[in-house]
Amino acid sequence: MIRVDYLTCPGDSGRGIGESAMEVIEVKSGKKIEFIDVSSEVRRALEKMSAGDGLCHLYVPHTTAGVTINENADPSVVRDILDALDRLVPLSGNYSHAEGNSAAHIKSTLVGCHQAVPVKGGKLSLGTWQGIFFCEFDGPRSRNLYVEYAPSSAEGR
């Protein structure tokens, strides 16, 4: 069972015009390895921050997870990406890190923990087939995804 919760970042209230804004999306993964589509939650975060024109930065503060943007229409695409990552970086191998989750750390560096998407009129400029995925590589766990909206200017709000 996957639950995606939406939390307000403490201190976000009372922002002035043109001020920075960050929201935190709480992601509860249900499997060892999975991609969780968080596009709707990111859209909701942008609405809450009264986004205008600018950039939506996505940041994962974890070392065994990541964030990627790929097709969210056919779920077999995500399955193929997960399989390919497992093939390239096997769960068990000749790893030295004692905690046994080296594969997750390696995948995190390959996929990355930061993405950014242009925002126009408060809307994500995602392509037709693109969705935003939180990438769990060592679950199940409670995770956070930071959504930072950077207006390009005071007028951009």
Residues in touch with a copy of itself (CB under 8 A): 11, 16-22, 53-55, 57, 59-63, 68-71, 74, 76-77, 79-81, 83-84, 88-89, 93-99, 102, 105-106, 108-118, 120, 125-130, 146, 148-156
Q: Give yes or no for a contact between 35 and 130, defined as CB atoms under 8 angstroms apart.
A: no
Cα–Cα distance between 89 and 135 in angstroms, integer? 15
Let me know how long the chain is: 157
Give least dist CB 4 to a copy of itself, A: 19
Give least dist CB 41 to a copy of itself, A: 17
Q: Which residues face 123 on adjacent strands?
A: 120
Cα–Cα distance between 68 and 52 in angstroms, integer? 23
Give least dist CB 144 to a copy of itself, A: 8
